[in-house]
Structure 1
Amino acid sequence: MNKAAVMTLVLSLGASLLGAPANAAGDAEAGGKLFKRVCGGCHQVGEGARPFFGPQLNNVIGRVAGSTSDYQYSDAMKSSGVVWTREKLAAYIEDPKSVVSGTRMIFWGISDQEKIDDLLAYLQTFQAP
């Protein structure tokens, strides 16, 4: 194999490896569409977001569960000790009652990991810098 072919192969492999984490992190645009359909009836994000049937979700990643002052959480949520990491949010989106058994959230969950990743990517866009 000549040097040019080897270089092309190395660059191609490198580019594909660099692209993998971006795909694993989810598609924020797809997550936004899914959020509007699945979550938007109860939750808001963005400038001016307020609690509705559920709390607003700005800056949710890294937040302690049940900690915003503008929403009345269940006792179970307030005392859960959960910190909303991406992993914990993913588990909650998949099966809310398995993460906080006394949650008042009425949601059956999403089993498709790609959709969960997309939602998390969308929520990540509403984190303070």
Structure 2
Amino acid sequence: MTRSLPLLAALLALVATTPLHAEGDPESGQRVFNQCRACHVIENDGRNGVGPNLHGVVGRRAASIGTFRYSANMRELGEQGLVWTEDNLRAYLANPKAVVPRGSMAFPGLRNPAQVEDVIAFLKSRAG
């Protein structure tokens, strides 16, 4: 038992200093985002496509672009205060239907957590 205490202490220290989510790579995220471009743009003042413009989406209230026609479910969630924080985007990008069950986005989600982090990093890099 006493021999395992230093190991336990080292593991606890590692867990305490390890970030919960790794920082993504915006360049890799741009490549992953290319599959999103079929429906979304990310240019400042860009037009909406099949999906809304995602410029500045990180930190924005859901369903807040007045010129886009969101699903009723997405509008309800926006009215209830859903904001696209990194954590909410993480969940949505991994499984959109888990966050917005009756939403209209047909994309099934990104299964690779590193790609999710990369896309979030890319979205953040295009916020300004």
Q: TM-score, normalised by structure 1?
A: 0.78
1:126 equivalent in alignment to 2:106? no
Structure 1: give runs of 5+ residues left out of the alignment: 1-16
Structure 2: give runs of 5+ residues left out of the alignment: 1-16
Aligned AA (2:68)? Y
Q: Which has the higher helix share?
A: 1
Give the corresponding residue for 2:14: none
Aligned AA (1:42)? C
Superposition CA RMSD, Å = 1.7
Q: TM-score, normalised by structure 2?
A: 0.78
1:107 equivalent in alignment to 2:104? no
Which whole-Å CA distance do the structure 2 matches of 1:69 and 1:110 have between them?
27
Alignment of 1:9-48 (within 5 A): 24-36=22-34, 38-48=35-45
Give the corresponding residue for 2:96: 96
**C-alpha displacement at 1:113, in angstroms?**
0.6
Aligned AA (2:107)? F
1:72-106 superposed Cα distances (whole Å, 9 cap, x missing partner) = 00110011131100010010011001101111000
Aligned AA (2:85)? T
Aligned AA (1:54)? G
**C-alpha displacement at 1:47, in angstroms?**
3.3
Work out the number of aligned pairs and report it.
108
Identity of matched residues, %: 35
1:71 equivalent in alignment to 2:73? no
